[in-house]
Structure 1
Amino acid sequence: MQIRNALPTAATARTAAAATVTAPPAGLEFGNRGPQVKQLQDALVKLGYMTKAQVATGPGIFGEKTKAAVTKFQADHKLPTTGYYGDLTHAALKKALGADSKPPKPGTFTKPPVVNAPSPNSNSRGGADIDTIVLHHTGSNNGAGDLAWMRNPQSQVSAHYMLDRDGKIYQLVGDEKRAWHAGKGELHGVPTDVNGRSIGIEIVNDGSGKTPFTDAQYKSLTQLVGYLKQEYKVPANNILGHKDVAVPKGRKSDPAENFDWNRLRAGL
């Protein structure tokens, strides 16, 4: 988006220590809450049965979504589908986590280094899953100015990430929060709250179609989008430009026409 004309519509990197996820003791069921439930949820997130957005709403609450995830895990492992986390489910979860702890396969992505530059311009996703990535150009070549604008409460605009001309990545809003980057929109022709389900990435570029996007930007963008696509299981056809989701059609033009989509996709 050209951030000065955007319309407002209303975790964090995994550390090496946090990457170690283990199965909690057996005996958890619907209605339980506390650190052992959170441990179970973290394990289910790691194995792909829950999303981070689903478990970010409370401190370890065994609710309907957790029960559904346990039931799905049980079905996949040919266990009684009770939704109760008992001894058999504990043993299967422990085994699955052991298998999942193998070194990453070649071609997998880790989160690139980011500079934290928090913006107040965000709100809750309301439990919505992340399934879309939206790319923008900022509308100027002044990264410092663009960053300051998105961090200004009066601007009422933001993005999750901004890529400067030198490839440096700034994170303004946590992935789990709803940044204000897309305005009124649709996804593949269906009206939707794009901000509520997407990650927004601003690329510092004036949007003229004549100013090249830099090699450093393409390199950082490929790593960042690759990581986000992998982390949130974003379908390839949901990696889009602002112009693809904005309504009415033609309201936005970013990223500019000289952005090389083929170069990005070839690296993912």
Structure 2
Amino acid sequence: MTVRTTASRATFSAPATPATAPKAKANAVAPRVAAASTALTAPPAGLGKGDSGAKVKQLQQGLVKLGYLTQAQMNTGTGSFGPATEAAVKKFQGDHKVPTTGYYGEQTAAALKKALAKPTTTPPPTQPGKFTKPAVISAPSPNCDSRNGADIDTIVLHHTGSNNGAGDMAWMRNPDSKVSANYMLDRDGKIYQLVGDSKRAWHAGKSELHGVPTDVNARSIGIEIVNDGSGKTAFTDAQYKALTQLVGYLKQEYKVPANNILGHKDVAVPKGRKDDPAANFDWARLRKGIGG
């Protein structure tokens, strides 16, 4: 994506059209009694990819409790059975000797009911995170809409088309531009968040993923890196450091496959419509930093 500023009049792609529990009473004598009413239970069988509603949300809550789905993943697709929920069901099925179909059927429901009934005296085992979310500066843009339940499974990198971070950000926050990104990395490595992760930013335009037409905006995080895109202006060390931390965190948080960390030129349709990030962007440095 390229940004239009007062100094540079290149244009962005236009956005593609998208297809409590009740409080337990305090009891000083027997505090153990109240907890049972809030226990999670397995929903009825018969849920699969594309389904939505309260039963899917109940399934997701159970998978979060058992460590198969992150709260962040659930927040971007609450009540919607998308790719992340399907992958979590498959992992649960594999661990519990149930056919790994990704469909929540009778066998899976029985296994989940049994797993949720076990006492949870200790939290479910988790892998220690290598990356923590880096510091970000909030700079909200109105240019966004709903992901409509889509799971985040892709990260798309762009260059802004100028070296003027203030101008680039002003353009992405201008309602008339109809463009935005979730994050922007300035030349000094500062990270600005323009659109929350749970929202669909307008950065990819008409796109496909690995040759398959799809609403890339709905399933991706868009990151704009301030650079003129000439191929001669270096991306700064501060940008690489910040980008490694940000992409590493997002990859870890949303379980994004390494082959879904792409440039705008990799997803734009038709091929050749976009060339960002520029040819001198060091993909090897980024992939080494994030571990794949």
TM range (shorter): 0.7 to 0.9
5 Å matches for 1:171-210? 171-210=193-232
Matched, 1:3 2:17: no
Query: Taking structure 2 as the reference length, what is the TM-score of the superposition?
Result: 0.72
Q: Distance in 1 between matches of 2:198 and 2:266?
A: 23
Out of 59, 63, 67, the residue aligned to residue 47 of structure 1 is 67
Partners of 1:27 and 1:84 within 8 A in 2: no
Residue 249 (structure 1) shift:
1.1
Residue 99 (structure 1) shift:
2.2
Partners of 2:263 and 2:276 within 8 A in 1: yes
Partners of 1:246 and 1:252 within 8 A in 2: yes
Q: Distance in 2 between matches of 1:205 and 1:172?
A: 18
Residue 238 (structure 1) shift:
1.1
Out of 116, 122, 147, the residue aligned to residue 90 of structure 1 is 116
Larger Rg: 2
Partners of 1:54 and 1:127 within 8 A in 2: no
Quick one: structure 1 residues 178 and 53, their matched pair in 2 at CA, closer, same or farther if it must change by over 3 Å? Answer: farther
Residue 266 (structure 1) shift:
1.1
Out of 81, 88, 102, the residue aligned to residue 108 of structure 2 is 81
Task: Give the RMSD, CA atoms, in angstroms.
Answer: 3.4
Quick one: structure 1 residues 84 and 25, their matched pair in 2 at CA, closer, same or farther if it must change by over 3 Å? Answer: farther
**Unaligned runs of at least 5 residues, structure 2:** 5-10, 18-35, 45-51, 99-106
Partners of 2:77 and 2:151 within 8 A in 1: no
Out of 125, 132, 137, the residue aligned to residue 115 of structure 1 is 137
Percent identity, please: 64
Matched, 1:140 2:147: no
Superimposed CA distance per residue, residues 70-121 of structure 1 (whole angstroms, 9 cap, x where no aligned partner): 79747734696336965x3334483683423x7x26xx11111101111111
Residue 225 (structure 1) shift:
0.6
Q: Distance in 1 between matches of 2:217 and 2:75?
A: 19
Partners of 1:181 and 1:200 within 8 A in 2: yes
Matched, 1:241 2:263: yes
The residue aligned with 1:25 is 39
Q: Distance in 2 between matches of 1:137 and 1:189?
A: 22
Residue 250 (structure 1) shift:
1.1
5 Å matches for 1:202-221? 202-221=224-243
Tell me the number of residue pairs that the alignment of Structure 1 and Structure 2 aligns.
246
Residue 233 (structure 1) shift:
1.2
Quick one: structure 1 residues 74 and 25, their matched pair in 2 at CA, closer, same or farther if it must change by over 3 Å? Answer: farther
